Each structure stands twice: as structure tokens, then as C-alpha cells.
Amino acid sequence: MPSTERKPLLLDFEKPLADLETRIEQIRELAEENNVDVSEQIRQLEARAVQLRSEIFSSLSPSQRLQVARHPRRPSTLDYIQAITDEWMELHGDRGGADDPALVGGVARLAGRPVVMLGHQKGRDTKDNVARNFGMASPGGYRKAMRLMEHANRFGMPILTFIDTPGAWAGIEAEELGQGEAIAYNLREMFRLDVPIICTVIGEGGSGGALGIGVGDRLLMFEHSVYTVASPEACASILWKDAAKAPQAAEALKITAWDLKNLGILDQILTEPLGGAHADPVKAASILKNTLLDNLEELSRLTPQQRRDLRYQKFRNMGVFLEVPA
């Protein structure tokens, strides 16, 4: 009878680690069959596996971090919401005739505190991804998000957004329905909201699709997430007419958490469990919850006007450049 156990999905740079772990398992099975004590050798190999995993994930290139950010088993918005909240009620519809499954949201309690949570939602497999449009939200999704944020502002509930999208849906229908206007409207309106807004990049933050729910008092980011003006593949196709040069584009775009922290765009990097958030989703959720609570506590001490002023200045300070004389 074939095994029903789910095997981990391996990224190319994880193969040496997988080979070592397979070897450990083979030695363990042989030892049990022959009644031989190899516990000391197994301990040494397991220690080597931990060391190798640490070495691999501490020296990932930008393109490799993009692979981790896109991992199909990386926790999604709904995974995190269900893991960190006491209560959760999803709300649907933009009150204009659409309900976009690529962008979800609703009301929740976080450590007993009422909040509004919303974010991009990708699928787990091909069928689910097609239903969720691969996390690429339509204009109705951004209008639904704004409706929920208005609700949060009206009732004094902090807003927590989770960014995980390759970009907004770029189909003809999306353009006909006003994709650019919907995102631009959100950008403007999020600046005027009185309540605390915390935005967290949990996977892939791409282009205006990410910015449509990305204007906040604090921008947080998991260490293996990426945040970029365009996907490396799109950038390579535009600049070099060759998508195969995506790794080169990923280096140039400065898409990693450390790049963005150095540029003053990112406020805080969230450490992931060894091997990425998908390796230990429960621990990743705990890290996210504690970080959100700490930031909420700090932001709640400010007045609405102070928060609006800081939010405005935060974005005004982005994109500073120097002109060097010829």
C-alpha cells in the first residue's frame, strides 16, 4: 500500500540537506534492523544537519529568498489569522457587486482586542490557486479592503494587513473595472485613517498590488519575504528582454528585508524559524502575534493626529536621492 505521508517540497538549494537527512534515516533503519547502537553517530549527523540548514538559510541570495517567499506551503493570510486570533469572522463583498477571493478580510480579536485583519490569499495547490487567482486581487478586492478599513476607523479598531501577492490582477477586465483607480484611492484614504495600521509582508510583496493595502504606521516583514516594485522576471523581461536573467534583476532590485531596512522603507524584520516559516508555521505565527502586539501597544499610546503625521512623514522620506556633480 503506498504511503500517504506528505513529502516536503524541496527547493533546489535544499537538496544537500535533504540528502543528508535521507542518509540519517537510512542509517537509523539499518541500525534497528540489525540491532546496532549508532545513536552517537546519528547525533553527530543530526547536529551536522542543523548546522547545514543554518548555513544554507543564512546565506540565501535574493533569488533564493524569492523561492522561499513563493513556497507553496508557506503560511498564508488565513493560516496566520486562524493561528493568532481568539475569534475571527470573515466579511465579504465590496458593496458594489463583487467579492474577490484573492483578498480576504474581516473582524477578529487579537489577545482580546477587537481588530480588523485583511490580506492577500494564495492557494495551496493549482485548483485552489486558480480559485484565488494566485493572490492577485481585482478592483473589487481593493474596494472590499477599503470598506473594511472604513469600518475599522468608524469603530476605533486597529487595522492589520498581510501582504502576499505577485501583483494586482492585470487582466483586461480588471482595467475596465478601474484597477488603477481602486489602488490609488486606497493609497490616499489610508493616510487619513485615525486608527493604528500595521502592514506585514508575509510572503511576496509585488508592485501596486502590495501597496493597495500597504500604507501603514509600521511596515513589518518576515526575513525570507520579498518586497519589490516588479517581479524579477518582469524586470528582466523589460530591461534585457530575457526572463532568464531574473536572478540578476533580483540582485539589482534590492528586494530582501535587509535591503529594505537599509533603505529606510522597512521598520522591523521578523525572524523566521530555521528553514523558513513553512518549516514551523506554529512558531512563525507566534513570532508574528508577539510582534503585532508589541507594535500595537506602542502605536496605541499616540493620538490619531500623531499617527497620521508620522505615517505621512514615513512615506515622504522614501525615495530620497542625491545628485552628484558631473
The matching CATH number, chosen from 3.20.20.70, 3.10.20.440, 1.10.760.10, 3.90.226.10, for 65-316 is 3.90.226.10
* pLDDT confidence of residue 1: 41
* pLDDT confidence of residue 248: 92
Higher pLDDT: 260 or 321? It is 260
* pLDDT confidence of residue 309: 95
Higher pLDDT: 210 or 323? It is 210
- The yes-or-no verdict on residue 7 having pLDDT over 70 is no
Question: Can you spell out the DSSP letters for 234-295?
Answer: HHHHHHHS-GGGHHHHHHHHT-BHHHHHHTT--SEEEPPPTT-GGG-HHHHHHHHHHHHHHH
pTM, two decimal places:
0.88
Confidence band (pLDDT; 50, 70, 90) for 14? confident
Q: How far is residue 90's CA from residue 88's CA, in Å, rounded to a whole number?
A: 6
The share of the chain scoring above pLDDT 70, in percent, equals: 97
Q: Supply the mean pLDDT for the chain.
A: 90
* pLDDT confidence of residue 114: 97
* pLDDT confidence of residue 143: 96
Confidence band (pLDDT; 50, 70, 90) for 306? very high
Q: How far is residue 211's CA from residue 136's CA, in Å, rounded to a whole number?
A: 12
Q: Are 160 and 116 in contact (CB under 8 A)?
A: yes
| 8 CB-side CA count, 13 A | 16
DSSP secondary structure letter of residue 113: E
Higher pLDDT: 248 or 45? It is 248
* pLDDT confidence of residue 34: 77
Across 261-280, b (16+ Cβ under 10 Å) vs e yields eeeebbbebbebbebbbbbb
Nearest residue to 175 (alpha-carbon basis) of 134, 139, 213: 139
Q: How far is residue 185's CA from residue 197's CA, in Å, rounded to a whole number?
A: 16
pLDDT digits (tens, 9 = 90+) for 178-204: 999 999 999 999 999 999 999 999 999
pLDDT digits (tens, 9 = 90+) for 89-139: 999 999 988 899 999 999 999 999 999 999 999 998 889 999 999 999 999
pLDDT digits (tens, 9 = 90+) for 142-179: 999 999 999 999 999 999 999 999 989 989 999 999 99
pLDDT digits (tens, 9 = 90+) for 45-103: 778 878 877 888 888 889 889 999 999 899 999 999 999 999 999 999 999 888 999 99
* pLDDT confidence of residue 8: 57
Q: Are 109 and 77 in contact (CB under 8 A)?
A: no
Rg of the chain, C-alpha, whole Å:
22
Q: How far is residue 16's CA from residue 52's CA, in Å, rounded to a whole number?
A: 9
